[in-house]
Amino acid sequence: MVVGLFASACKIPNLESKQCGDAREAVRKFYSFHYSNDIAPTTENLELRKRFLTPGLFQELSEKPPAKDYFTNSDTAPKAFRVAACKEVDENTTDLGVHLFWKPNDATSIQKEVGVETVKQGDDWLINKVTQK
């Protein structure tokens, strides 16, 4: 009984809303998938990512493919990422920061941040826009 009380007393409270938690998980899944596969902005690669994107963003990227990877603004995939702060815009929209990390050699490391807007459509949180910060 004492162990049960101790375990429940040690829980870290979740200070993030369900909305931000769900959007964060969707963005984490997307970037994990994105980096595990080829990030080149090809029609085939975009099609593989369609399930993570709003129809509007998918159409925009299909009609006018970017020269670099839209989701990182880079030609090379980062070595790691971290989903950072979340801001609720309204009940169906969030803005999240995503920190991107490259390590081109042992002496240097590069970090950039992008902003990711997600929109809830049905039961899913989808990426609607990525901005460079």
In tens, the pLDDT along 56-71 reads 999 999 999 999 999 9
Mean pLDDT over each residue of the chain, to the nearest integer: 90
Q: Is residue 57 part of a domain?
A: yes
Q: What are phi and psi of 100, to 5 degrees?
A: -115, 135
**Which residue in 79, 70, 132 sits closest to 101, CA to CA?**
79
**22-66 pLDDT, tens digit each:** 999 999 999 999 999 999 999 999 999 999 999 999 999 999 999
pLDDT score of 81 more than 60: yes
Number of domains in the chain: 1
Residue 13 pLDDT level (bands cut at 50, 70, 90) = low
Q: Which structural domain range is residue 29 located in?
A: 16-132
Which CATH number goes with the domain that contains 78? 3.10.450.50
Written as one string, the DSSP assignment of 48-112 is HHGGGB-HHHHHHHHHS--SSBTTTTBSS--SEEEEEEEEEEETTEEEEEEEEEE-SSSS--EEE
Tell me how far apart the alpha carbons of residues 4 and 104 are, in angstroms, rounded to a whole number.
47
Q: Is residue 120 part of a domain?
A: yes
Other Cβ atoms within 10 Å of 59 Cβ, number: 11
